[in-house]
Amino acid sequence: MSKIYVVDDEKDIREILKVNLQKNGFDVATFASAEEVLKQLAIAKPDLLILDIMMSGMDGLDLCKQIRASNNLKDIPILFLSAKSAELDKVLGLELGADDYITKPFSIHELIARVKAILRRVQGKEETPKEVLTYKGIALYPEKFSVTIDKEPVDLTKTEFLILKLFMQYPGKIFSRDNIIDSIRGDNVYVIDRTVDVHIMNLRKKLGHYKDAIKTYSGVGYGLKG
């Protein structure tokens, strides 16, 4: 379970974020100031920091700079959540090292999607690159963008390839439609909730006698049998 720290001097914002992030399966701790979260950061690091900019005492920008200057903390992903909506403010936040920037008032659905996307990117970077992913007679070559079944090449669309790659990286893991969309969105593909099933159906057809390797978990999502 990913750990998220929320830092905002508005109590209502902290509570809204905590409730909704917890509903989506995240472990959440909230802090009312930069000084407060710095004490906790000295004890334990989160997987993501959601950070307000305009706070009394140390503001979010200064906290971001301090985190990025620390050898122990610099790798923590940061998402700025701020009422400062000018383009210059967004550029400054990103240049200081933030991974994303959302303006208030915000859509909780968009925020959750951005959080998931950041965590996917970070977790993807932590994966050790492999020249080939294999599952039974299926071989997927990430660098070559190619797939073979029983050593015979198979022609997949980019979306089908990315979905199969996701499943083969985490055999036995169940992915909801939203998980799938968030995981492949950054690869310049367009996929929406109602088309995921179609891509899965087409992928199964192309896998031939391995089509049953992709399991449907009723009401939950899809995954590669472990």
**Third-level CATH fold of 133-224:** Arc Repressor Mutant, subunit A (1.10.10)
pLDDT in tens, 155-212: 999 889 999 999 999 998 999 988 898 888 765 556 666 788 899 999 999 999 999 9
pLDDT of amino acid 124: 65
- Three-state SS for 7? strand
pLDDT, position 122: 78
pLDDT over 90, % of the chain: 56
Domain locations in the chain as residue ranges? 3-126, 133-224
The model scores a pTM over 0.85:
no
If one counts every other C-beta atom within 10 angstroms of the C-beta of residue 49, the result is: 26
Do 3-126 and 133-224 fold alike per CATH?
Answer: no
Note the pLDDT tens digit of each residue in 134-157. 999 999 998 888 999 999 999 999
11 has pLDDT over 90 = yes
Task: Note the CATH number of domain 3-126.
Answer: 3.40.50.2300
3-state secondary structure of 187: helix
Contact 160/206 with Cβ under 8 angstroms?
yes
- Distance between CA atoms of residues 112 and 110, nearest Å: 5
